[in-house]
Chain A
């Protein structure tokens, strides 16, 4: 399978009074067509910024974004429009991502009306079809977002994202604002849609059990940098980076007899403002020593398993 979305050395810095905030720093990855890349990391590590930068909600600072073999890093006018029809986003908060003054059907119709190539009958039919696809009852089409519950609102957001038949969808924590029973429904809906339409997802979350369920590949981010990238099963079987290990140990289990070693991280999170070249995890890492302050490189330690840790081989006896 060919890569649908490729990112090379992508950087996104924000100016602040104290200096440059390195929100996304030198990320290189690729997402295969029809697959899901799970992007995990703690709050503020740049996951959402990376997702937004990929679909041009933010302009990237440096690096290249390649979509379907075409460089889309700097697009303008018509090409930008065409690109935006192919990529969509599902937002985190279904309460603020829907215009409170539009009805459900207005919200779903908007992208199709803006496209301008469909007759109003076609738009109407497609809207009904989309509502059916995402599982919203037809009677709700004249409802307003505030009249719906969180799960239904998120379904409306998904229907809007699907309206133009995109190829690539950035899901920015689409379930973290929902309660657990609804989370499962939405995740299953997203997976069904992927099977039926061949969609490619970048799935951003901080919930390890969600990412385990939906992803094919997983990328772990820490303070703007990628620390580990590999297949899902590989990651859960052999986490190599100390940060990933701590993340995985934090997943709650239902088996009360199983003794589990929680890894508790100590120390302060480094500031993302002008962080320098040292390993960004070293202030919290128990294995860190002088060599970690000289910087780290992303290396393929096992086949298809990239880790950014100097000590990875040593810690894991590879």
Chain B
């Protein structure tokens, strides 16, 4: 097997054994794992998730425990990332807080992806009145900046993680719907769909075998982007005081509560900031890698 891998040529810019069928999970895995950025993203996210889940057991301090002797202390052996203005250990807060950023990002994306793809697909397939009705309905949502809509939503229904997910999820629907609809409209009129009709391919099979595989890759990238965007938005909402509430350590909320100390104790702001940046970056890199793996036309 080893020498076989060496002999074969390149595909998609990566050295992948050509006997693996493109489109299969094995191929996608091979392609993604050859992408350095994606590997970094995967390792970083996996580490964050595992450490976050284990944080109550492995951290020396609770995320809400205050250490009055060591208030506002710079990073040291005792507090690796230092302590904040109330003497809480930043490392513990970062690790515990990762769950909020990730949960909000992933669940809100799931909500908007499922509903958006469904609405976009229906609008694209059936066209006419259904299309016009659905798309005009979504136009209403899109007319508001998403963060403003999310703020309005939180103002009406109250704050909290669940409200945050709902608000970000709903504002994400139009993006997915438009993407899916445009893709389906493009594919529905191509000659290979007609060719499938001439060989008696039933409609449901055309949709499953020809339309969806061709429509799905931009959507997958959008999912990755949306997770990072919503993670960021959850930080913004928390920063504004509308998302996760104190003393729960959401990254954005940590930025917000310590921003007054940026001049004298910049580490309090920089450390959560770095984690937000790295998480967003990881999701984006993963999304790019998946797009490349799924697209047979991709060449580096």
Q: Does A88 contact B (CB under 8 A)?
A: yes
Which residues between 1 and 60 of chain B lie within 8 Å of chain A, taking CB atoms?
18, 21-23
Mask: chain B, 194-218; 1 = CB below 8 Å from A; 0 = not:
1111111100010000100110000
Identify which of B23, B200, B296 contacts A81 (C-beta below 8 A): B200
Q: How far is the CB of A138 from chain B (nearest CB, A)?
A: 15
Q: Is the CB of B214 within 8 A of A85?
A: no
Per the bound structure, the CA–CA distance linking A98 and B192 in Å amounts to 5
Q: Does B300 contact A (CB under 8 A)?
A: no
Per the bound structure, the CA–CA distance linking A97 and B196 in Å amounts to 9
Per the bound structure, the CA–CA distance linking A92 and B214 in Å amounts to 21
Q: Does B264 contact A (CB under 8 A)?
A: no
Q: Is the CB of A142 within 8 A of B296?
A: no
Q: Does B190 contact A (CB under 8 A)?
A: yes
Q: How far is the CB of B185 from chain A (nearest CB, A)?
A: 15
Report A-chain residues with C-beta under 8 Å of the C-beta of B18. Answer: 142
Q: Is the CB of B197 within 8 A of A57?
A: yes
Report A-chain residues with C-beta under 8 Å of the C-beta of B205. Answer: 114
Per the bound structure, the CA–CA distance linking A84 and B199 in Å amounts to 6
Q: Does A297 contact B (CB under 8 A)?
A: no
Q: Does A198 contact B (CB under 8 A)?
A: no
Mask: chain A, 152-166; 1 = CB below 8 Å from B; 0 = not:
000001001001100
Q: Is the CB of B200 within 8 A of A84?
A: yes
Q: A93-B191, A96-B192, A142-B21 are in contact. Are A110 and B198 (CB under 8 A)?
A: no
Q: Does B297 contact A (CB under 8 A)?
A: yes
Per the bound structure, the CA–CA distance linking A100 and B210 in Å amounts to 9
Q: Is the CB of B191 within 8 A of A97?
A: yes
Report A-chain residues with C-beta under 8 Å of the C-beta of B210. Answer: 99, 101
Report B-chain residues with C-beta under 8 Å of the C-beta of A146. Answer: 296-297
Residue of A nearest to B214 (CB): A101
Q: Is the CB of A89 within 8 A of B198?
A: yes
Report B-chain residues with C-beta under 8 Å of the C-beta of A100. Answer: 214, 296-297
Report A-chain residues with C-beta under 8 Å of the C-beta of B199. Answer: 84, 88, 110-111, 114, 160, 163-164
Q: Does A91 contact B (CB under 8 A)?
A: yes
Report B-chain residues with C-beta under 8 Å of the C-beta of A142. Answer: 18, 21
Q: Does A236 contact B (CB under 8 A)?
A: no
Q: Is the CB of B198 within 8 A of A57?
A: yes
Q: Is the CB of A114 within 8 A of B213?
A: no
Report A-chain residues with C-beta under 8 Å of the C-beta of B190. Answer: 96-97
Q: How far is the CB of A60 from chain B (nearest CB, A)?
A: 16
Which residues between 103 and 122 of chain A lie within 8 Å of chain B, taking CB atoms?
103, 110-111, 114-115
Per the bound structure, the CA–CA distance linking A81 and B198 in Å amounts to 9
Identify which of B22, B197, B200 contacts A85 (C-beta below 8 A): B200
Residue with the highest number of chain B CB atoms closer than 10 Å, among A55, A84, A99 = A99
Per the bound structure, the CA–CA distance linking A20 and B291 in Å amounts to 44
Q: Is the CB of A97 within 8 A of B198?
A: no
Q: Is the CB of A110 within 8 A of B196?
A: yes
Q: Is the CB of B23 within 8 A of A57?
A: no
Q: How far is the CB of B95 from chain A (nearest CB, A)?
A: 41
Q: How far is the CB of B295 from chain A (nearest CB, A)?
A: 9
Residue of A nearest to B190 (CB): A96
Per the bound structure, the CA–CA distance linking A98 and B214 in Å amounts to 12
Mask: chain A, 129-159; 1 = CB below 8 Å from B; 0 = not:
0000000000000101010000000000100
Report B-chain residues with C-beta under 8 Å of the C-beta of A93. Answer: 191
Identify which of A57, A89, A101 contacts B296 (C-beta below 8 A): A101
Residue of B nearest to A99 (CB): B192
Q: How far is the CB of A87 from chain B (nearest CB, A)?
A: 8
Per the bound structure, the CA–CA distance linking A142 and B198 in Å amounts to 23
Q: A101-B214, A144-B22, A144-B296 are in contact. Are A91 and B191 (CB under 8 A)?
A: yes
Q: How far is the CB of A54 from chain B (nearest CB, A)?
A: 11
Q: Is the CB of A91 within 8 A of B195?
A: yes
Q: How far is the CB of B25 from chain A (nearest CB, A)?
A: 15
Per the bound structure, the CA–CA distance linking A115 and B199 in Å amounts to 8
Which residues between 237 and 262 of chain B lie within 8 Å of chain A, taking CB atoms?
none
Q: Is the CB of B191 within 8 A of A88?
A: no
Report A-chain residues with C-beta under 8 Å of the C-beta of B296. Answer: 100-101, 144, 146
Report A-chain residues with C-beta under 8 Å of the C-beta of B200. Answer: 81, 84-85, 111, 114-115
Q: How far is the CB of B151 from chain A (nearest CB, A)?
A: 41
Which residues between 276 and 300 of chain B lie within 8 Å of chain A, taking CB atoms?
296-297
Report B-chain residues with C-beta under 8 Å of the C-beta of A57. Answer: 194, 197-198
Q: How far is the CB of B58 from chain A (nearest CB, A)?
A: 45
Report B-chain residues with C-beta under 8 Å of the C-beta of A101. Answer: 23, 210, 213-214, 296
Q: How far is the CB of B205 from chain A (nearest CB, A)?
A: 8
Q: How far is the CB of B142 from chain A (nearest CB, A)?
A: 28
Report B-chain residues with C-beta under 8 Å of the C-beta of A81. Answer: 200
Per the bound structure, the CA–CA distance linking A181 and B230 in Å amounts to 55
Listed in ascending order, the chain B residues whose CB lies under 8 Å from chain A are: 18, 21-23, 190-192, 194-201, 205, 210, 213-214, 296-297
Given A114-B200, A142-B18; 14 other pairs, CB 8 A cutoff? A57-B194, A84-B198, A84-B199, A88-B198, A91-B195, A96-B191, A99-B196, A100-B297, A101-B210, A101-B214, A114-B205, A144-B296, A146-B296, A157-B195
Closest 8 CB pairs of A and B: A111-B199, A97-B191, A99-B192, A91-B191, A144-B296, A101-B213, A96-B191, A146-B297
21 A-B residue pairings within 8 Å (CB atoms): A57-B194, A57-B197, A57-B198, A81-B200, A84-B199, A88-B199, A89-B195, A91-B191, A96-B191, A97-B191, A97-B195, A99-B210, A99-B214, A100-B296, A101-B23, A101-B213, A103-B21, A114-B205, A142-B21, A144-B297, A146-B297
Listed in ascending order, the chain A residues whose CB lies under 8 Å from chain B are: 55, 57, 81, 84-85, 87-89, 91-93, 96-101, 103, 110-111, 114-115, 142, 144, 146, 157, 160, 163-164
